[in-house]
Structure 1
Amino acid sequence: MWRSDVPYDTLATQLVGSYAKPQWLVDLSKPTAIDQSEWWRVPPERLPAAQDDAVLLAIADQERAGLDYVTDGEQRRQSFSGYFMRLGGIDTENWSDRYGEGARRTSDVADYISIRDVSRLRTGMMRMGPTVIGPIRWEGPLSVADLEFLRRHTSRRSKVTVIGPATLAVRIADRYYGDMGRLMLALADALNQEVRALAAAGADLIQIDDPELHFNQSRVRDWATEALSRTVAGVEARTAAHICYGYAQNIASKRVNPAYAEAMRMIAASDVDEISIEYEQPGHEPDVLEHAGEKAVILGLLNLAPEAPVERTEHIIARARAALEVLPPERLRLAPDCGMWFLPRERAQRKISALAAASRALLTELGL
């Protein structure tokens, strides 16, 4: 677990999770394809080797940039959530309406995004999800082999991401529990076994991705903090929880909204060690960091909008320096806003290089 009296991770740089995916590996225009053959460009018999190669490229780019933590770029995943729908009790072959027959999909952030983006959120396909048909259970490791491959190919500290219980609960169709709280806590207990397995396999930092704490806050609020704490209970590694405004290529309009601060407070009350937040593209100011409680903050300082230019190192330094007016250096980390899977690799590499350079400059400035 992270200890506030040890400045081990001061201004540590890292991805949120995903990194640019090679176009020879995936069809970036079909991220929601149900048929896997529409997403992966490589034949099934060659796919594992191709994914290995993509992971090695992602590792090389992160190391070349100088990041302190390295992920596998999530090169084996089509989505950050679907990868963990393989828990027992979830039927991934037969999908159902997640909102109930005739119900209208809603979002707590609909008033803060454009009409175009709201329509994307409410598309018919996004109503459907794998179906919970029995007790949720962990039947064995889902991502441990991915971590082991990563650790064999880097000497840097390793970071791995796992879906959060609130987000997974919202994205599946419950036909068994009949109660959001019971479903979330069952998912938390199952995911806890995955997180423990990752810690036992040597993960240095395990991040719980739970953006629905922001998007569908009213549906998950009552159980969010307990579910997060149960997800990381007994874990012998540092843990974080990530919330965001949605992938930049999907949600083009991002405005600061009060639900985000409330989501931060939910995480701050939980047993995770760090809060990972999107900060740059929505235009947050340092005052939002006051909602982090005593947690360390992984601060998103790279705007990932498809048209956004590569950040100047001086800009990143200025934004981080302002954050240091609220947080002490040992509680601040630097990262992109969110996942980078849809960006061109060359631009992604330049962005994370600027991030690492900013961290080094700030450490020198602070005499660390």
Structure 2
Amino acid sequence: MGTGSIKGFGVALTIGVAASLFTALVVTRLIFDFLLAKDLLKSIRMLHIIRASQLNFMALAGPAFILSWTIILVGVGYGIFGRGAKCLGVDFLGGDNVTLRFGEKVEVDKLREAITRAGIPDPLIQYQMDLGGGPQLLRITSAYDTGEKVAAVLTNGFPAAKFEKAALDKVGPTIGKEIQRTAIVASLLSLFGILVYVAFRYELSFAVGAVLAVIHDVLMTIGCYCLAGREFNAPTVAAILTIIGFSINDTIVIFDRIREDLKLGVRGTFRELINQALNQTLSRTIITSGTVFLATLALFIFGGGAINDFAFAFLVGIITGTYSSIYIASALVLWWHKGQRPATGSGVTLESTASAREPASSRA
């Protein structure tokens, strides 16, 4: 459904996921078989960032739910009523992106004044780092078919700055509308696929909780993006689709633990069982989200242009995706059942279940 860079990102990500799945199922198995055959593996130790935590996550579910949706309303509301079409970049509205090299930096206000005086309204002017840590570049977004004029105005108006055109990208209004359409359709299809998958694997309450948590993450990212004064372009759409996949991944891990405890017939209220599942998966959540966050932070700091836009959106998504798995998805499942656990067996305590899952090597 995607176009241009979005489709390219989707193809690359699909290949990466397939390769990762093959590695996890085949290559990792072969490595462990070899280590066991050679008697090189004596025990398996798992890293525990937090041991035996007993945090009452669900006690804060209500206030956290209200706070997050308040932030969403403020951010999205500012984007719609405060900035309007200025939130959308060239990829959605159409226009020209001209990138200039320079020898001497000129104040943005002076550049905007010169461009506006030349009859080109509302230019977006940004200094950005070049990809790979090169020198800064000047990036200017303007109306369609005005990029050449912008470059000429600045080159002639500021000779001491030694402006030199590095690139010029044009997106027609028709193409911009097509990108808008495909972005919306791709996002909706992703959410529908998640709803069907989670409902099939678990039950409807889990599916609704997962999808609403993902919607929460997308809206939170959009709100923060608007509040940061950034423009939505194709890389932002790619980041949002990545956030959808990342968020549901962490949620599924927590749901798996909840379902496992339900099947084991662990004694306790449904609230206690969900809190237990969240505490049991807390170390895994911190490790996974932390490593992805650090890698994305490096892209945000050192990447320029489209990579910086993608990294900013994904950083927000990592934080809100981790948060929503706990305080949105899990809380919605609890509220769906009105605090009553689904019908299961009984006979296993929360403490004995946690002890049984802990490897002998880590208890020693």
TM-score range normalised by the length of the shorter chain: under 0.3
- Greater strand fraction, Structure 1 or Structure 2: 1
- Greater helix fraction, Structure 1 or Structure 2: 2
Q: Normalised by the size of structure 1, how large is the TM-score?
A: 0.26
Structure 1 or 2, whichever has the larger Rg, is 2
